[in-house]
Structure 1
Amino acid sequence: MKSKNEIQQICDILRKAYPDVKTQLLHRNPFELLISTILSAQCTDRQVNGVTPALFRVYPTPDALARAPIKKIEALIRPTGFFHNKARNIRACAAALVDRYGGVVPHGIEELVALPGVGRKTANVVRSAAFGQAAVVVDTHVKRISRRLGLTRHEDPVKIEFDLMAKVPEAEWNDLGLRMIYFGRETCRARKPDCPNCPLFDLCDYPEKTA
């Protein structure tokens, strides 16, 4: 497992490689980010961004989306995949926002994860990107890279989240997750990591890394 000094080196190197990071999901407010993040499951941000402008043009508020015909929602979000389930989830989520919070997206993790279709990853994206709260977002890239770097031994995303929270300085939480996502897409890929050109090569515990 990594020392505090090694963890800080990892943070510093990723900050230098990716100095300005933000979520790639297009949004104008917490509601749009929440729905966009739910739609991003098992598809790319680009696919989500391709459908959300039209979705929010037709249904711009939680109340409007909660009252929308499910078939119309499905037609608008079809390119994101799994559109039957996603349509039900985002409409139910919008209805819960209206019924429980007057159409306002809550700030708290417990309130967010109680909404239909919202897990800890989605909740933490909203808390971090919409509300500026310190949160660790664990997606497939963060999971893979955290294990390869020796920041966690766990497979479960929640346990990984708490490992990172315990070891990484809180000031690094929001940006570190985003930087790992950028890094995972460009360098530390799942099947063919670009180890020879990796700036974290000397700090990496991955047993299959190649020189």
Structure 2
Amino acid sequence: MPEGSLVDDQKILRLLRRVDRFLQKKNVPEPAAEQMTGKMVPYDVLIMTILSLRTKDSVTIPASQRLFEKAPDLPSLSQMKISDIESLIFPVGFYRTKAKTIKTIAERVLTEFGGKIPDTLEGLLSLPGVGLKTANLVLTVGFEKEGFCVDIHVHRILNRWGVIQTHSPDATYHIVEPVLPRKWKRRANALLVAFGQHFCRPVSPFCSVCPLLPDCNRIEVDKHR
């Protein structure tokens, strides 16, 4: 299959429906981001997502809480010294770079967007350090809008099924997003993240209990056993 190709969009929908039924039967909880919908403002989602890059939740959450206590909004964040931001968010990965990034974001949103976090994909992507994953998380969790967030779980599982062949989450987004019905764009991320965390894991996936086994190509599964 050529790189970046899509095999069967209808197969993706069939498998998503089966994952949905399977997870409901197993009483698997929604991912943390979905549980937080309606509880976090866009500012919180944006900053936390940037801090979470290559950082465990156990580090990201306390760091974010420390920062939000001192900078609960964009104006207060924009006025902080970068060195103070660094101290508050340490030890998140790349904390020095992230401190500069989030301060710049605060300044730009205040000057270019009237102090309001953009609620469009284009607007969010214009901010430094914001990629497709971060932008779609802000849209879906912060603004409760439709969006298709492709993280490593979504990218891995769709490639493992053999319905696409892509080299990165962004490439997966550009191929799958246009063919997903609107009602599935946001739901697909929640389903595949939960499925990836509990069953279709990166290493030693539980294929023996997976109802999708007959239709899954199990691409590169043996390499991770």
* Shift in Å, 1:177: 1.0
Question: Match of 1:57?
Answer: 69
Question: Match of 1:80?
Answer: 92
List aligned pairs for 1:13-24, cutoff 5 A.
13-16=18-21, 17=23, 18=28, 20-21=30-31, 23=33
For residues 187 and 14 of structure 1, do their structure 2 counterparts lie closer, same or farther at Cα, with a shift above 3 Å needed? same
> Counterparts of 2:48 and 2:92 in 1: how far apart (Å)?
10
> Counterparts of 2:9 and 2:117 in 1: how far apart (Å)?
38
Question: Structure 1 regions of 5+ residues with no counterpart?
Answer: none
List aligned pairs for 1:144-163, cutoff 5 A.
144-163=156-175
> Counterparts of 2:197 and 2:172 in 1: how far apart (Å)?
19
List aligned pairs for 1:168-207, cutoff 5 A.
168-207=180-219
One of 8, 30, 39 as aligned partner of 1:2? 8
For residues 46 and 117 of structure 1, do their structure 2 counterparts lie closer, same or farther at Cα, with a shift above 3 Å needed? same
The answer on whether the counterparts of 2:150 and 2:172 sit within 8 Å (CA) in structure 1 is yes
One of 116, 119, 134 as aligned partner of 1:122? 134
Give 3-state SS (helix, strand or coil) of 1:93's partner. Answer: helix
Moved beyond 3 Å, runs of 4+? 18-22, 24-27, 207-210
TM-score, structure 1 normalization: 0.89
TM-score, structure 2 normalization: 0.84
The answer on whether the counterparts of 2:31 and 2:193 sit within 8 Å (CA) in structure 1 is no
Q: Which structure is higher in RCO with an 8 Å CA cutoff and minimum separation 6?
A: 2
Report the RMSD for the aligned CA atoms in angstroms: 2.1
> Counterparts of 2:221 and 2:72 in 1: how far apart (Å)?
47
* Shift in Å, 1:44: 2.4
Question: Match of 2:153?
Answer: 141
Question: Structure 2 regions of 5+ residues with no counterpart?
Answer: 1-6
Give 3-state SS (helix, strand or coil) of 2:91's partner. Answer: helix
Q: Answer with 115-124 or 161-170: which moved more.
A: 161-170
Deviation by residue 1:175-204 (Cα, 9 ceiling, x = unmatched): 211221122122222222221122322221
* Shift in Å, 1:88: 0.9
The answer on whether the counterparts of 1:30 and 1:105 sit within 8 Å (CA) in structure 2 is yes
- Letter in structure 2 aligned against 1:123: A
> Counterparts of 1:42 and 1:147 in 2: how far apart (Å)?
22
